[in-house]
Amino acid sequence: MTTLTTETEKPLVGFIGAGNMARSLAGGLLRNGWGSKRLILADPHEQQRDGIEKALGLRVHRDNLDVAQRADILVLAVKPQVLGQVATELTTAVQHKRPLVISIAAGVRIDDIERWLGGNLAVVRAMPNTPALVGSGASGLFANARVTETQRDQAESILRAVGVTVWVENEQLIDVVTALSGSGPAYFFLVMEALEAGAIKAGLDPAQARLLTLETAVGAAKMALESGEEPALLRKRVTSPGGTTEQAVQVMEQAGIRQMFEQAVAAAVRRANELGDLFGKNP
């Protein structure tokens, strides 16, 4: 007989920071049946606090310690530039409570997070992306050796509330996740921007060009997700010999589109590593 988990049995999830990503994660958890009494947030900015309370009906504290002293799972959702300072101020509370720590601060490494929080902690580093704001996120996760299987499941449940998740086998791969899915929405926005501009230059009405571009992007992504087939095969199926698609694809191939994206991802990986070095020097 399966026993349903009651609200009081769920761990208390606390968010340090109540910005867009924390709001999307908290909202996703609520939609997935996480009780409002098991979610608490902290943010020093009154506007952020009021926004969360009005949108989600959750209590948002002003003092980070109010959350750190109570949370079973502590989600660090502040900007990476200030995480060192914020975490250092929580050391005593975290060492006493010893929660599972989940950091969604881009570029900040687990060793630095542990050092700021006093060490010997279960820490998961997660890299969500902005489509999480509309429930279509793609997140990479890495756990240190102190994270138990139960805690891995808990971390995955939190990130899966706003999209899909993948676990990577070493922390360096989080930089690749950052370069791919973290920065990736901007790449697709750029492609959409360029396609729309090309259609307008060819004579299409701007509103029509926008609508057709966006729906084509959504449709292509949906086909790729639902078919389960390789993008290369899907591309070949819509590329008739001697047709318009073949001509367009040839132009892009001759312009070096594959090398361009390879170089773009490599550049983003390098920058993610540089930022990790930079942020690790804080506070």
pLDDT value for 27? 96
4 φ/ψ angles, rounded to the nearest 5 degrees: -75, 140
pLDDT value for 259? 98
Among candidate residues 18, 115, 15, the one with its CA nearest the CA of residue 74: 15
Is CATH 3.40.50.300 the right assignment for the domain spanning 7-174? no
120-174 residue pLDDT tens: 999 999 999 999 999 999 999 999 999 999 999 999 999 999 999 999 999 999 9
For the chain, the domains span: 7-174, 184-276
| E strand or H helix that includes residue 244 | helix 244-254
Least confident of 48-57, 70-79, 85-94: 48-57
pLDDT value for 2? 35
Report the predicted TM-score, pTM, of the whole model to 2 decimal places: 0.92
Report, as an integer, the average pLDDT of 258-268.
98
pLDDT band at 1 (very low <50, low <70, confident <90, very high): very low
pLDDT band at 8 (very low <50, low <70, confident <90, very high): low
Q: Say if CB 16 and CB 68 are below 8 A apart.
A: yes
Measured between alpha carbons, how far apart are the two ends of the chain, in Å? Answer: 51
- Say whether pLDDT at 9 is over 80: no
Report, as an integer, the average pLDDT of 247-276.
97
CATH fold label, 184-276: ProC C-terminal domain-like fold (1.10.3730)
Q: Is the dihedral of CA 133, 135, 137, 139 positive or negative?
A: positive
pLDDT band at 3 (very low <50, low <70, confident <90, very high): very low
Average pLDDT in the chain = 95
The rounded distance, in Å, linking the Cα atoms of 223 and 246 is: 19
- Say whether pLDDT at 77 is over 70: yes
21-53 residue pLDDT tens: 999 999 999 999 999 999 999 999 999 999 999
- Say whether pLDDT at 264 is over 50: yes
| Identical topology for domains 7-174 and 184-276 | no
Exposure letters 78-100 (e unless 16+ CB within 10 A, then b): bebeebbebbebbeebbeebebb
The rounded distance, in Å, linking the Cα atoms of 114 and 83 is: 12
Exposure letters 118-135 (e unless 16+ CB within 10 A, then b): beebbbbbbbbbbbbbee
Report, as an integer, the average pLDDT of 226-230.
95
* Residue whose entry in the numeric block shows the structure tokens 């492609």: 191
